[in-house]
Amino acid sequence: MENLLLVDWSRAQFALTAMYHWLFVPLTLGLSFIVAIMETIYVKTGSQTWKRITKFWMTLFAINFAIGLATGIIMEFEFGTNWSNYSWIVGDIFGAPLAVEGIMAFFMESTFFAVMFFGWDKVSKKMHLLSTWLVAIGSNLSALWILVANGWMQHPVGMQFNVDTARFEMASFFDVLFNPNAYSKFLHAIGSGYVMAALFVVGISAWYLLKNKEVVKARKSMVVGATFGLITSIFLIFSGDESAHEVALNQPAKLAAMEGLYDGHSRAGIIAMGQLDPQKKIGDGKPEFLWSIEVPYALSVLGYHSMDAFVPGIEDLVLGNEQAGIESAQSKIEKGKIAIESLKRYKEAHKTGNSTEATEALSTFRANEQYFGYGYLKSPEDIIPPVALTFYSFHIMVGLGSWFLVLFFFVLYFAMTGKIENKKILLHSAIWSIPLGYLAGELGWVVAEVGRQPWAIQGMLPVGMASSQVSITAVQTTFWLFALIFTTLLIAEIRIMLKQIKLGMEEH
């Protein structure tokens, strides 16, 4: 019971850090490119108006960039403090992309950030522009390596288990690097960051137009932001399709939870809107939803790119489905226990010099190795993530993403036709869509991380086996300390940004 409480508090602390971190990161990813585009227009035209616009948005980018560093550093340290078993078991693999991120991407963006922010009138226009683009590229390269590491946790490839050290070791760096799951996750995550940054630019520009301030600069900023947002919203849809395909192939339990699908079937539809039955239990034969609106065949097409594809449901994955070739969770748990026991026998035999017993135990372990992680689960139902949280998070995220696409289209249309100042409702909608963008981004990570529970490494290492053996009091104390620090940083960022916005593009 005490260990369970420790794991829950460790998860809560990491979730807290990750969610605050994602409040800062997306704006960095997207705004860096928007600023680079604006400066490119300035260099091409020589217009002082575009220079002022660029410097204004660059100032807001710099504020966010500086404050965002703190949460990222703390989150990486938590792998050692709260998740030391995880770090020990897979540190050789997981640490490699994070090391590359620090050596290559972080140093690149931080070096050229200094030139970008302080180098106005100290270096040539082209050198300054190059620095701005390199900061944007470096920021996104940082995201690449971090999401390669995260993608590996969702779909572990390119490694082998060393029975003598009881650790996973890297067999192929390129398999880890070119993991399809990692790239689909990277493209979808940066796409959400781009959309969020576009909402930020469009929303603040809308505020200026409503206040009748900085009208020319606000309109120009709005055109760039809405264009960038419209393009990246479309990109986000396609990357989301590929991400869902990878989830279907490698994390069927997550896909079933995302759609609230209990009884798997061919030609499965997507639930456009619906309310889950909170009393629904596995195998009770009751409908999953109190009410729902379904898009026919869409889930089979989205998940497997085939209208006739069979999509396994929660009951198929837990209870098994022989016709569909799906093994039951109970069978996997039993094989996992055999793997754990045979590993113990191997170690004992190896220690005593009994080579015959060691060879036999090793053979048994290798035959059941892929189920090793399942042996630590207590019941078959443990393989299913929290259905309601995953389902509602996914559907709200998709709904918000659809709204953003519509918003960018109309904002761009009216901004280009010179009528945007008269569209008060649209301008107010743009302002209120800024927090909705952040909400959609956070919900995306809820789907990604809650949806893969109970696994720290999909199918191989449950979260309960990954935590450190530290005192609950220490984790609880640091949880509230981090909550205070991060909230203070967030309030500070908002206040500083609001001050800069109120000063305007001329006085910042």
Tokens of residue 276, six digits: 């889950």
Same domain, 160 and 26: yes
201 and 64 both lie in a single domain: yes
**259 in a domain, yes or no?**
no
Ramachandran angles phi, psi of 457, nearest 5°? -125, 120
Q: How many CA atoms lie within 13 A of 229 on its CB side?
A: 33
- Say if 451 falls within a structural domain: yes
Per DSSP, the residues of 253-300 read HHHHHHHT--S-EESPPEEEEEEE-TT--TTS---SEEEEEEETTHHH
| Domain assignment present for 293 | yes
In degrees rounded to 5, what are phi and psi of residue 272? -70, -45
Residues 119 and 236 in one domain: yes
CA 197 to CA 233: how far, in whole Å?
A: 11
141, 127: one domain: yes
Asked if 248 and 312 touch (Cβ cutoff 8 Å), the reply is no
CA–chain centroid gap for 5, Å, is 25
Is the same domain home to 133 and 190? yes
**pLDDT at position 507, please?**
59
- pLDDT value of position 145: 86
The total of structural domains in the chain comes to 3
Tokens of 60: 């807001």
Which of 384, 411, 431 is at the close of a domain? Answer: 384
- Residue 96 shares a structural domain with residue 135: yes
**In-domain check, residue 282:** no
Say what the pTM is. Answer: 0.92
**CA-CA distance, 169 to 163, in Å (whole number)?**
10
Looking at the structure, do residues 217 and 170 belong to the same domain, yes or no?
yes
174 and 71 share one domain: yes
pLDDT score for 54: 93
* Host domain of residue 464: 2-251+385-503
Closest C-alpha among 303, 264, 497, 282 to residue 387: 282
Measured distance CA(250)–CA(320) in Å, rounded: 17
Give the per-residue pLDDT at 315.
93
Q: Are residue 136 and residue 247 in the same domain, yes or no?
A: yes
Which structure tokens are listed for 465? 């086996």
Does 306 map to a domain?
A: no
Specify whether 437 is located in the same domain as 322: no
Q: Are 35 and 61 in contact (CB under 8 A)?
A: yes
Task: DSSP letter for 323, please.
Answer: T
10 and 71 belong to one structural domain? yes
> Which pLDDT score, from 0 to 100, does residue 241 have?
86
Q: Are residues 347 and 432 in the same domain?
A: no
What pLDDT does residue 2 have?
A: 55
* Measured distance CA(232)–CA(30) in Å, rounded: 10
Look at residues 350, 384, 418 and tell me which one is the last residue of a structural domain: 384
Cβ neighbour number for residue 207 with a 10 Å cutoff: 18
Mean pLDDT per segment of 10 residues, for the chain of length 508 residues? Answer: 78 90 90 95 93 93 80 78 86 82 75 85 90 90 87 90 88 88 89 96 96 91 96 93 89 93 90 91 89 91 90 93 91 94 91 88 92 92 94 95 96 92 94 96 94 90 86 90 91 91 77
Which positions ≥6 away from 49 have C-beta within 8 Å?
A: 216, 217, 220
Q: Is 508 a domain residue?
A: no
Q: Is residue 459, in this structure, part of any structural domain at all? A: yes
Q: Is residue 257 part of a domain?
A: no
